[in-house]
Amino acid sequence: MFNKDRWTEIIEALNANKVRTFLTAFGVFWGITILVLLLALTNGLRAGVTADFGNFATNSMFMWGQRSSISYKGLPKGRRLEYKVSDIEAIKAEIPELKYVSPRNSLGGYNGANNVTRNTKTGAFQIYGDYPEFIKQKPMDILEGRFLSYSDINAKRKVCVIGPDVVKGLYDKDEEVMGSYIKINGVNFLVVGTFKITNSQGDTEEEANTVFIPFTTFNQAFNYGDRVGWMAITAEDKTSITQVKERVFDIVKSRHNIAPADQRAIGHRDIAEQFQRINGLFDILSIVGYFVGALILMSGIIGISNIMLIVVKERTKEIGVRRALGATPWAIKGQILQESLILTILSGMVGISFSALVIWIMNSILDAGGPVENFSNPSVSMQVVFVALTILVISGVLAGLIPANSATKMKPVDALRIE
Amino acid sequence: MIQIKDLHKSYHMGSNSLHVLKGINFNVKEGELVSIMGSSGSGKSTLLNILGMLDEADEGSYTLDNVPIKNLNEKIAARYRNEFLGFVFQSFNLINYKSALDNVALPLFYKGITRKERSEKAAHYLEKVGLAEWSHHLPSELSGGQKQRVAIARALASEPKVLLADEPTGALDTKTSYEVMDLIQGINDEGKTILVVTHEDDIAHMTKRIVNLKDGLIIDDSTVEQVRAQQYV
């Protein structure tokens, strides 16, 4: 169908009125550009906002103890709920859908008192007692050495992994960090690794000021016994943490004599739920993007249809001549359809390329100017491009249908009579 | 070559009906050069349109080269037009964005002939009408007489059985008209059957037979002594 002669015919016809061809194509070009840009901007917003979650495993929740609000089994309300190490084992044993249950404890805090010293240097840092799997819940780059390991946990080794600002605060430039000791609250810890948390917004400074030590060491060295400050719980990929969290609460409640109806004793932050809510919002934004883009594209397509009608009208006589020379109605229809299809696809391709250029420029400006709040990496997937192209092909044919039919509706004798 | 029996055609415009052809009987043998004359409204163009399968008769039969032409759908009509007929129009009807060569090649395109062969044939017919040097010019760069020659080359390109010319000299001055008639006579001399619709007496006398139409009927059908256009060129 698309041999060279057809192409020549079509290109000749489109070339015959360049300005009009250009203006017609512009409608579709503009429509597809807006469609793609809208989707890219939605993606940019989505990427920007979800980056606020850091790159924390999103199927997770944090769970901490608060005060009970209902008296239960003869015990008063207002009791402080404090998790024990044994809770971890119980939760893991009863709910196999959980991937990681990490107990955590911490010392110090943002703008807290100085708690770490090395030789003459001191600093106030955030000290966390953690399990090795915490790095899987909150991915970080290990720059040197390693993260905590289970043998550290089992042997209660006094080792630590420190953040970039800790290094900056306690070491001179070019000083060897690995293998040196730092003193946390008077206890010496061997530095076995340094880390950096990338792709996090907002908490960068706090995270850079962090020291990780093994959970068991933490509890022993700082006299925490078997207390657990809070837990970071991640569910298996196929189960949502939102679905299993009530079961976790029930276990904790029964183990600590908390009334089953007590809503306040357990504090938690469900990252999956928050993440999903925000993702849902952006799904809707994407749909709006598609909808608005498609409507604008549609006006472009109607434009093509309109112009093709005029073209057919103007070329009535030419069509009559072609039919007198032996063109079948389908040869004529095919030509009009292909003209509209080619016009649509070509202008659509230009539109897609143009919007890709705009997205590229946006990205390079973002790269150069540093991160912008709630916006990063606007992009469209190939899938969107294919959807857009499919829409273009279908609409190109649709745009050509009415004009193609009207082109052959008139009898050749009448078409020839038109001046 | 052409047999027409009792051909009727009327046009309906609202409640009015205009009976244009009221029973035409008419035969053309191979190799004839016939002119159809008549004042406007006599039905000569309608007759030519029916002969050209651009329009259909209400009644009567039409046989072209032993093929009965009836109940045509547009697809078959298009094929017959392409195979049997070549058209020459008063206003040339060249496609203005195509070169002379491409215009001549157009019926061959619809015939499904390869590009190379098309160009060769088109070039051959352009040479035949004396426009080989103009093959890459657009119609707008040609004079009226040249345009009509391109149109004649185009009509000949598909090697039709019959050439139908509707007022081929109507838009040309006398001298150019005679040049075109000279060309048409030359083609007829080679054996092509040609029908010319005209209302000009001198043009009609350059054919071999004059059919006179009046109010939808043939009032006169006689062979004439052909005047060669050559002597005026």
A324/B110 touch (CB, cutoff 8 Å), yes or no: no
CB contact A408 to B (< 8 Å): yes
Q: What is the pLDDT of residues B7-62, one digit of tens each?
A: 999 988 888 888 889 999 989 999 999 999 988 888 888 899 899 998 888 889 99
B89/A416 touch (CB, cutoff 8 Å), yes or no: yes
B158/A327 touch (CB, cutoff 8 Å), yes or no: no
Count Cα atoms within 13 angstroms, Cβ side, for A40: 24
Do the domain assignments include residue B68? Answer: no
Do the domain assignments include residue B22? Answer: no
Instruction: Give the pLDDT band (50/70/90) at residue B120.
Output: very high
SS3 of residue B52 by DSSP: coil
Which CATH number goes with the domain that contains B186?
3.40.50.300
A328/B52 touch (CB, cutoff 8 Å), yes or no: no
Q: Tell me the C-alpha distance between A395 and A35, whole Å.
A: 14
Q: Residue B224: which domain range?
A: 30-58+73-232
CB A257 within 8 A of CB A75: yes
Instruction: Please report the pLDDT score of residue A278 as a whole number.
Output: 83
ipTM reported for the complex, 2 dp: 0.90
Amino acid B211 reads V
CB contact B158 to A (< 8 Å): yes
Widest Cα–Cα separation across chain A: 105
Instruction: Please report the pLDDT score of residue A129 as a whole number.
Output: 93
Amino acid A187 reads V
Q: Can you give the three-state secondary structure of chain A, one letter per residue?
A: CCCHHHHHHHHHHHHCCHHHHHHHHHHHHHHHHHHHHHHHHHHHHHHHHHHHHCCCCCCEEEEEECECCCCECCECCCCECCEEHHHHHHHHHHCCCEEEEEEEEEECCCCCCCCEEECCEEECCEEEEECCCHHHHCCCEEEEECCCCHHHHHHCCCEEEECHHHHHHHCCCCCCCCCCEEEECCEEEEEEEEEECCCCCCCHHHHHCEEEEEHHHHHHHCCCCCEECEEEEEECCCCCHHHHHHHHHHHHHHHCCCCCCCCCCEEEEEHHHHHHHHHHHHHHHHHHHHHHHHHHHHHHHHHHHHHHHHHHHHCHHHHHHHHHCCCCHHHHHHHHHHHHHHHHHHHHHHHHHHHHHHHHHHHHHHHHHCCECCECCCCCCHHHHHHHHHHHHHHHHHHHHHHHHHHHHCCHHHHHHCC
Neighboring chain B residues of A20 at a CB cutoff of 8 Å:
none
Do the domain assignments include residue B116? Answer: yes
Residue B165 scores a pLDDT above 50: yes
Instruction: Give the pLDDT band (50/70/90) at residue A343.
Output: confident
* Domain count along chain B: 1
Neighboring chain B residues of A326 at a CB cutoff of 8 Å:
78-79, 81-83, 107, 110-111, 158
Instruction: Please report the pLDDT score of residue B182 as a whole number.
Output: 92
Instruction: Please report the pLDDT score of residue A150 as a whole number.
Output: 93
Selecting from A9, A324, A328 the residue whose C-beta is nearest the C-beta of B87 gives: A324
Residue A163 scores a pLDDT above 60: yes
Do the domain assignments include residue B122? Answer: yes
- Distance from A397 to chain B by nearest Cα, in Å? 22
Do the domain assignments include residue B15? Answer: no
Alpha helices in chain B (DSSP H): 44-51, 74-84, 100-111, 115-128, 144-157, 174-189, 201-204
Do the domain assignments include residue B209? Answer: yes
Specify burial of residue A143 (Cβ count, 10 A radius: 0-12, 13-18, 19+). Answer: middle
At residue A363, φ and ψ (nearest 5 deg) are -65, -40
Amino acid B180 reads V
C-alpha distances in angstroms, B191 versus A77, A113, B161, B194? 119, 115, 10, 9
A412/B54 touch (CB, cutoff 8 Å), yes or no: yes
Question: Over chain A, what is the mean pLDDT?
Answer: 86
Could you tell me the two tokens for B192?
A: 């092509």
Instruction: Please report the pLDDT score of residue A380 as a whole number.
Output: 80
Residues of chain B with pLDDT > 90: what percent? 56
SS3 of residue B78 by DSSP: helix
SS3 of residue B232 by DSSP: helix
Locus of tokens 């244009």: B20
Q: Tell me the C-alpha distance between A107 and A101, whole Å.
A: 20
Instruction: Please report the pLDDT score of residue A157 as a whole number.
Output: 93
A321/B55 touch (CB, cutoff 8 Å), yes or no: no
Selecting from B78, B154, B158 the residue whose C-beta is nearest the C-beta of A323 gives: B78
CB A162 within 8 A of CB A148: no
Instruction: Please report the pLDDT score of residue B125 as a whole number.
Output: 93
Residues near A61 by beta carbon (within 8 Å), at least 6 away in sequence: A232, A233, A241, A245, A268, A269, A270, A271, A272
Instruction: Please report the pLDDT score of residue A200 as a whole number.
Output: 53
B82/A326 touch (CB, cutoff 8 Å), yes or no: yes
Instruction: Please report the pLDDT score of residue A1 as a whole number.
Output: 46
Selecting from B81, B95, B96 the residue whose C-beta is nearest the C-beta of A326 gives: B81
Q: What is the pLDDT of residues A243-290, one digit of tens each?
A: 888 899 999 898 988 888 888 889 998 888 888 888 888 889 888 888
Q: What is the pLDDT of residues B174-231, one digit of tens each?
A: 999 999 999 999 999 999 999 999 988 999 999 999 999 998 899 999 999 888 988 8
- Distance from B227 to chain A by nearest Cα, in Å? 30
Residues of chain A with pLDDT > 70: what percent? 95
Q: What is the pLDDT of residues B79-90, one digit of tens each?
A: 999 999 999 998
Neighboring chain A residues of B106 at a CB cutoff of 8 Å:
322, 325
Neighboring chain A residues of B154 at a CB cutoff of 8 Å:
325
Q: Tell me the C-alpha distance between B164 and B232, whole Å.
A: 24
Nearest partner of B1 among B63, B65, B53, judged by Cα: B65
Question: Over chain B, what is the mean pLDDT?
Answer: 90
Instruction: Please report the pLDDT score of residue A389 as a whole number.
Output: 81
Q: Tell me the C-alpha distance between B11 and B88, whole Å.
A: 24
Do the domain assignments include residue B178? Answer: yes
Could you tell me the two tokens for A224?
A: 């925490």
Residue B129 scores a pLDDT above 70: yes
- pTM for the whole thing? 0.66
Any idea what the Cα angle at residue B55 is, between residues B50 and B59, rounded to 5°?
65
Neighboring chain B residues of A407 at a CB cutoff of 8 Å:
none
CB B194 within 8 A of CB B162: yes
Residue A147 scores a pLDDT above 90: yes
Do the domain assignments include residue B213? Answer: yes
Selecting from B55, B75, B154 the residue whose C-beta is nearest the C-beta of A328 gives: B75
- Distance from A347 to chain B by nearest Cα, in Å? 23
- Distance from A394 to chain B by nearest Cα, in Å? 27
Instruction: Please report the pLDDT score of residue A8 as a whole number.
Output: 77
